[in-house]
Amino acid sequence: MPQAAPNFYFFKKFYLLIVISLKGFSQVLLVGNAFSGLLILIGITLHSPVLGLMAFLSSIVGTITGKYLGGDRDLIRNGIYGFNAILCGISTILFLHGDKRWFIALFAAALAALSLKMLTKVLDKWNIPVLTIPFVFITWIGLLIAYRVDTLYMDPDFVISSPAMWNLPVEGTPTLLVGMIKGIGEVFVIDSLWTGSLILLALFWTGWRFGLYAIIGTFVSWLTAYFIGADTHSLNLGLYNYNAVLTIIAVSLVFNKNLKKTPYIGIIAAMLTVPVTAGLELLLDPLGLPALTFPFIVCSWLFIALGKVFQSYKYKQTVPVQRLPSRNKQPI
């Protein structure tokens, strides 16, 4: 009997850690739901058990790191310290070869939590969301180091950019449905119909608006990329879609209170991610770096800022101006 209470306390703490870590998966899509996170984890694991295991361990490492760094309790409980860690862990496993990549992936996950803690303090002053900045910059820096260090081996399947690859072939048959679903899976840097389908299911589980907006975002971005002449390979892989999915959710649902008007604004933001992605890819190609979710960050920040400016202007127009009585006016 004396040991029952400690065992129960340990089980409760372990259960809470698992739930928070699962929320980290859904927080990649800007929602906090443990069951949605479980569906996403299953989708990743079906594609690759190794990636699934690393993603789960990365979320745990990010959560524990956030706790011992003294992170905000509500942020920790909602899985905020897990989502950048998950993306860093997955990208490390995908981009690197060798036994050291496991250690590097977990180190990157911890570093993502540390970066989130530091950036939150700075950006909160301007009420700017951190989003996936830690993941993007840690991955970029890691890739640049890997190009120059012999102890880190790049995966040969990861195409290192060269001038010969700047003009991609446009031959082939674009497939709308495949590109849309894979585009949702590419949020986690994964090319898989199963993963994309389960992520979409996870969004619908969170709320029908999240699932519907994800479909709209990936649809309009695919059409935009198709009509501006994007290469067929990228279209079928959904490489122009995943930033749009994140952006439309951020702009239309998470960081905007006016749900009646935001679908139209979110659609415009989702479409904008396509030329932004194309431009950033051209800019980053000479460095051999992928755009990752940086277009999502740029477009979301832009439309969040514009929304705040518009709301401020609207507030000034609706507030009546209080006029003081004139001192020179004489009573009749």
At 188-244, the pLDDT tens digits run 999 899 999 999 999 999 999 999 999 999 999 999 999 988 888 888 888 899 999
- pTM attached to this predicted model: 0.88
CATH of 164-315, one of 1.10.3430.10, 1.10.3720.10, 1.10.1740.10, 3.40.50.970: 1.10.3430.10
**Residue 330: its pLDDT value, please?**
42
**Residue 98: its pLDDT value, please?**
78
48: left (phi over 0), alpha (psi -120 to 50) or beta: beta
Q: Fold match between 8-157 and 164-315?
A: yes
* CB neighbour list of residue 209: distance below 8 Å, 6 or more residues apart: 253, 259
For residues 268-287, average pLDDT? 92
Q: Per CATH, which fold does 8-157 belong to?
A: Ammonium transporter fold (1.10.3430)
Tokens found for residue 267: 């659609």
Task: Write the single-letter amino acid at 209.
Answer: R
Picking from 80, 69, 46, 60, the residue whose alpha carbon sits closest to that of residue 254 is 80
Tokens found for residue 177: 């449905």
Tokens found for residue 278: 């194309």
Average pLDDT over the chain, rounded to whole? Answer: 85
Q: Is the pLDDT of residue 109 over 80?
A: yes
Q: Is the pLDDT of residue 326 over 50?
A: no
Q: Is the pLDDT of residue 1 over 60?
A: no
CB 32 within 8 A of CB 23: yes
Helices then strands, each counted (H, E), the chain: 14, 2
- CA-atom Rg of the chain in angstroms: 22
Residues 7-36 have pLDDT tens digits of 777 888 899 999 999 999 999 999 999 999
Structural domain spans, the chain: 8-157, 164-315
- pLDDT grade, residue 167 (50/70/90)? very low
Diameter over CA atoms, the chain = 94
User: How far is it, in rounded angstroms, from Cα 188 to Cα 94?
Assistant: 11
For residues 296-300, average pLDDT? 96
- pLDDT grade, residue 165 (50/70/90)? very low
CB 93 within 8 A of CB 101: yes
User: How far is it, in rounded angstroms, from Cα 72 to Cα 66?
Assistant: 8
Q: Is the pLDDT of residue 126 over 90?
A: no
- Give the CA distances from residue 271 to residues 226, 234, 242, 306, 327, in Å, rounded to whole numbers and listed in that order: 11, 16, 11, 16, 56
